[in-house]
């Protein structure tokens, strides 16, 4: 029986991604170290994906960082069927045709899952060299579309919407499945935004990828980048993918975080089992080394609480951008707060009560445990008093809720609540999320 991609990830995936810290310079040692840390400190809380981001196949990646993020026309490691392979310099275990299998095996042995980033399409150099495609009489030049490029990365051409194009994607997934890949983050596909007439020009490549996953027999989660995803294509994302980015790259910048409230409002009804609008990685802890400027996140602790609360109640995937081995204890506690992480169960139903330029209020109701929550977000740059009437809240829960206490999930503190109104003061950019007891 055909696989059902919605069962590949019944919860929004949680994991680590190499990009925010390593950019294109990620190597095997870094991956192993972060995986070990995750297995030891994070796995018990649900974190389990280790994802190697962009250009693991590029020789010399990162060596011209002053001029190029992605060195144009550089040497890419490629097999005889026009498929990219790990750069053996950075990923020694991949030598002799082993690919990512040894690394994936080790990660699986840690009880974790293994993911890779790919650019949609076929290497440009394959097209120009007319190299073969596995199981297909055509060569790369015949399946590559010379007018379909990525605006910001020079590696690939898009693949034409033909049987032979499908064959190429099939051959990719056969390889990745043989390595033990559990997760693919495909880039330049969710929004091909350089194109004037069609930001969804790679629609057919999403379908080809999904078909190839289906054929490969391995349940591989499909994540689409970059955003913003196009709301009018929501049906298509839902049918073929597991995650799709709802913003352009997210970084540690308050304006981007504030804006995410509006994007979550737009996409909130589109979060379903196996279908996750994606708020992008969590830029906390140490970041930016591969970009040439290692730094700690610019987000305040308040902003990090706000981010985690929004991502969790909305149901976004969670991908840590930090170098895990450098996590401080405060950040670790932020990432391992069970009360917050549990908002992500399928039985927790979020609802947006208010969103304006100054603040936002969400409620969450756990249908199994009959627990009710209310999250108050201060979007202003100064402290602000919140006062929410019981009435207003109660209409937003499906069942009769009575409560006499409030438990704040970050602080863990209880406060009695006898009035008709929930009152609290919240610092700039901070959040309070109460369970009603």
Please give the residue ranges that form the binding site for a second copy (CB under 8 A): 1-2, 4, 6, 72-73, 124-125, 127-128, 130, 141, 144-147, 149-152, 154, 193-197, 199, 231-232, 234-235, 239, 262, 265-266, 268-270, 352-355, 391-392, 395
Please give the distance of CA 169 from its chain centroid, rounded to a whole number.
22
For the bound state, the minimum distance from the C-beta of residue 262 to a second copy, rounded and expressed in Å, comes to 8
Residue for token pair 């330049």: 188
User: What six digits make up the tokens of 299?
Assistant: 């987000």
Q: In angstroms, rounded to a whole number, what is the distance separating the alpha carbons of residues 103 and 434?
A: 42
Q: How far apart are CA 393 and CA 368, in angstroms?
A: 19
Residue closer to a second copy, measured from CB, 89 or 392: 392
Is the bond preceding residue 226 a cis peptide, omega within 30 degrees? yes
Closest CA to 366 of 305, 425, 409, 321: 409
Is the CB of 231 or the CB of 411 nearer to a second copy? 231
State the nearest-atom distance from the C-beta of 287 to a second copy, in Å.
Answer: 26
Of 262 and 415, CB closest to a second copy: 262
Element (H, E) at 423: strand 421-426
Q: How far apart are CA 172 and CA 59, in angstroms?
A: 20
Q: Which of 94, 116, 83, 37 is nearest to 322 (CA)?
A: 37
Q: What are the backbone angles phi and psi of residue 85, rounded to the nearest 5°?
A: -125, 160
292 burial level (CB within 10 Å; 0-12, 13-18, 19+): exposed
Query: Which of 167, 144, 142, 169 is CA-nearest to residue 157?
Result: 144
What minimum distance in Å lies between the beta carbon of 263 and a second copy?
Answer: 9
Q: Which is nearer to a second copy, 102 or 154 (CB)?
A: 154
Shortest distance, position 157 Cβ to a second copy, whole Å: 9
The residue among 234 and 301 lying less far from a second copy, judged by its C-beta, is 234
User: CB of residue 172 vs a second copy: minimum separation in angstroms?
Assistant: 20
- Taking the least distance from each CB to a second copy, the nearer of 5 and 117 is 5
> Minimum distance between the CB of residue 208 and a second copy, rounded to whole angstroms?
15
* CB 111 to a second copy: min, Å: 29
**Cα separation of 295 and 21, whole Å?**
9
CA dist 242 and 275 (Å) reads 5
Q: How far is the CB of 163 from a second copy (least distance, A)?
A: 15
Whichever of 120 and 270 has its CB closer to a second copy, that residue is 270
Q: Which residues contact 306 (CB under 8 A, 6 or more apart)?
A: 257, 377, 429, 430, 431
Closer residue to a second copy (CB): 195 or 386: 195
CB of 270 to a second copy, least distance (A): 5
CB 313 within 8 A of CB 299: no
Nearest of 24, 23, 170, 34 to residue 103 by alpha carbon:
34
Nearer to a second copy, 45 or 386 (CB): 386
């Amino acid at each position: 029986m055909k696989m059902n991609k919605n069962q590949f990830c019944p919860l929004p995936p949680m994991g680590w991604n190499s990009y925010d810290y390593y950019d294109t310079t990620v190597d095997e040692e870094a991956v192993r170290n972060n995986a070990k840390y995750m297995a030891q400190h994070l796995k018990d809380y649900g974190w389990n994906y280790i994802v190697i981001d962009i250009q693991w196949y590029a020789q010399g990646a990162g060596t011209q960082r002053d001029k190029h993020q992605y060195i144009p026309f550089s040497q890419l490691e490629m097999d005889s069927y026009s498929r990219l392979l790990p750069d053996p310099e950075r990923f020694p275990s991949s030598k002799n045709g082993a690919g990512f299998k040894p690394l994936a095996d080790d990660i699986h042995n840690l009880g974790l899952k293994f993911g890779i980033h790919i650019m949609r399409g076929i290497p440009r150099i394959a097209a120009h060299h007319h190299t073969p495609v596995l199981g297909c009489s055509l060569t790369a030049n015949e399946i590559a579309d010379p007018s379909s490029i990525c605006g910001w990365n020079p590696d690939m051409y898009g693949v034409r919407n033909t049987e032979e194009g499908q064959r190429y994607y099939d051959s990719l997934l056969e390889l990745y499945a043989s390595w033990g890949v559990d997760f693919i983050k495909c880039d330049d596909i969710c929004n091909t935004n350089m194109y004037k007439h069609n930001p969804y020009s790679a629609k057919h490549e999403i379908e080809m990828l999904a078909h190839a996953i289906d054929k490969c027999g391995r349940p591989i989660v499909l994540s689409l980048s970059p955003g913003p995803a196009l709301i009018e294509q929501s049906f298509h994302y839902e049918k073929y993918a597991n995650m799709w980015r709802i913003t352009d790259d997210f970084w540690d910048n308050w304006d981007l975080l504030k804006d995410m409230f509006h994007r979550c409002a737009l996409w909130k009804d589109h979060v379903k089992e196996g279908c996750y609008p994606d708020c992008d990685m969590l830029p906390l802890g140490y970041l930016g080394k591969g970009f040439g400027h290692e730094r700690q996140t610019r987000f305040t602790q308040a902003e990090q609480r706000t981010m985690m609360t929004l991502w969790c109640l909305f149901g976004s995937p969670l991908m840590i951008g930090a170098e895990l081995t450098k996590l401080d204890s405060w950040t670790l506690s932020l990432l391992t707060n069970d009360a917050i992480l549990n908002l992500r169960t399928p039985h927790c139903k979020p609802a947006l009560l208010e969103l304006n330029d100054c603040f936002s209020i969400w409620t969450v109701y756990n249908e199994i445990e009959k627990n009710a929550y209310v999250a108050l977000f201060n979007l202003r740059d100064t402290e602000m008093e919140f006062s929410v009437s019981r009435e207003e809240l109660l209409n937003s829960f499906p069942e009769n809720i009575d409560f006499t206490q409030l438990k704040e999930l970050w602080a863990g503190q209880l406060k009695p609540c006898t009035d008709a109104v929930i009152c609290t003061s919240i610092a700039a950019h901070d959040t309070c999320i109460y369970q009603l007891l």
